[in-house]
């Protein structure tokens, strides 16, 4: 598979892959219904579910090039962790970043849509037995609302790797705590989408009359465009708020030319939210041409 890249006016977006893993539907949507799920399988196949009907979840970053800035949205799982949920992809992410023509010293901005472990892992890297910022020249952006909530909630309730993947960034003076509607360039800005976490943000890109929207975990899997009530109260901080965020995004982006790029959507990872007489669905955008096949695959990660 070729490396995935999209052009939105003058802005380019590259997908930097780490892994793609199948999960039982109950893992993501324990409140889902088999009969309703079966109605969606014709459009979910072959990209978003496997042959056994399991949901495919990708771990990847999105590299945005805008106004001479290299902006990396989320930093995957990282190295040196064993979460027991996703497979260990080793150094796959860093190799794929280099394959996109970018060195870690070239990144200007790191944006974490939220602070769960699978979105902040490569914020830091191991140097001996300590963690240092992976991107030494970057400004790391975290939503102020998100950070204040977790730091005030106590260790028992906070995301599991803040000490390893956020605190070293603060100690190095590279962290900026921003509002949830912060503008990075005149083409790239944050959009509040709380619910999955208290200060969760998505990303809007507008350039040359075109628009794209990066979901973060506001929508984890494409089936949630059709079934916005499906979610997991054990994963979403506030499920009802998460549902309202999905509804608001769908109302704005649905049946438009806005390119939706899912932060966990399996390849081809992007497409359009459509509606017909049977309800909502997600139309995958298939790339018929693109960059050379430079994607690095982790040996122990399979579809």
Is position 295 within any domain?
Answer: no
- Is residue 25 one of the residues assigned to a domain? yes
The per-residue pLDDT string of the chain (303 residues; one tens digit each, 9 = 90 and over) reads 468 999 999 999 999 999 999 999 999 999 999 999 999 999 999 999 999 999 999 999 999 999 999 999 999 999 999 888 888 899 999 999 999 999 999 999 999 999 999 999 999 999 999 999 999 999 999 999 999 999 887 655 668 899 999 999 999 999 999 999 999 999 999 999 999 999 999 999 999 999 999 999 999 999 999 999 999 999 999 999 999 999 999 999 999 999 999 999 999 999 999 999 999 999 999 986 554 444 444 433 333
Whether 56 and 22 have beta carbons less than 8 Å apart is answered as yes
The pLDDT of residue 156 is: 57
Does residue 229 lie within any of the structural domains?
Answer: yes
Within a domain: residue 177?
yes
Q: What is the pLDDT of residue 159?
A: 80
Domain containing residue 153: CATH number = 3.60.15.10
Is there a domain that residue 289 lies in?
no
Kindly report, residue by residue over 111-150, the tens digit of the pLDDT.
999 999 999 999 999 999 999 999 999 999 999 999 999 9
Domain assignment present for residue 192? The answer is yes
* In a domain? residue 297: no
Residue 291 lies in a domain: no
Segments forming the whole domain that contains residue 246:
5-284
Please name which of 107, 106, 99, 110 lies closest in space to residue 143, comparing C-alpha atoms.
Answer: 110
Burial of 292 (0-12, 13-18, 19+ CB in 10 A): exposed
Q: How many domains does the chain have?
A: 1
Q: Do residues 213 and 259 touch, judged by C-beta distance below 8 A?
A: yes
pLDDT tens per residue, range 289-301: 554 444 444 433 3
What's residue 259's pLDDT?
A: 98
């Amino acid at each position: 598979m070729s490396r995935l890249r999209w052009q939105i006016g003058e802005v380019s977006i590259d997908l930097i892959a780490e892994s793609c893993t199948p999960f039982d539907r109950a893992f993501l949507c324990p409140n889902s219904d088999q009969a309703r799920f079966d109605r969606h399988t014709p459009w979910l196949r072959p990209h978003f579910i496997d042959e056994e009907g399991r949901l495919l979840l990708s771990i990847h970053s999105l590299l945005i090039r805008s106004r001479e800035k290299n902006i990396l949205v989320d930093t995957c799982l990282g190295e040196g962790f064993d979460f027991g949920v996703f497979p260990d992809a080793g150094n796959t992410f860093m190799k794929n970043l280099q394959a996109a023509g970018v060195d870690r010293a070239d990144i200007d901005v790191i944006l974490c849509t939220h602070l769960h472990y699978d979105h902040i892992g490569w914020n830091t890297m191991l140097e001996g037995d300590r963690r240092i910022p992976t991107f030494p020249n970057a400004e790391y952006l975290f939503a102020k609302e998100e950070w204040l909530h977790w730091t005030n909630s106590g260790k028992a309730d906070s995301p599991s790797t803040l000490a390893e993947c956020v605190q070293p960034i603060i100690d190095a003076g590279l962290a900026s705590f921003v509002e949830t509607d912060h503008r990075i360039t005149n083409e790239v800005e944050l959009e509040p989408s709380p619910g999955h976490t208290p200060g969760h943000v998505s990303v809007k890109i507008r350039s040359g009359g075109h628009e794209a929207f990066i979901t973060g975990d506001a929508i984890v899997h494409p089936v949630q465009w059709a079934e916005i009530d499906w979610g997991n109260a054990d994963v979403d901080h506030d499920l009802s708020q998460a549902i309202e965020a999905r509804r608001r995004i769908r109302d704005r982006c649905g049946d438009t030319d806005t390119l939706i790029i899912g932060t966990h959507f399996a390849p081809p990872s992007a497409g359009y939210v459509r509606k017909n007489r049977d309800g909502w669905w997600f139309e995958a955008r298939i790339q018929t041409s693109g960059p050379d096949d430079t994607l690095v695959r982790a040996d122990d990660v399979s579809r």
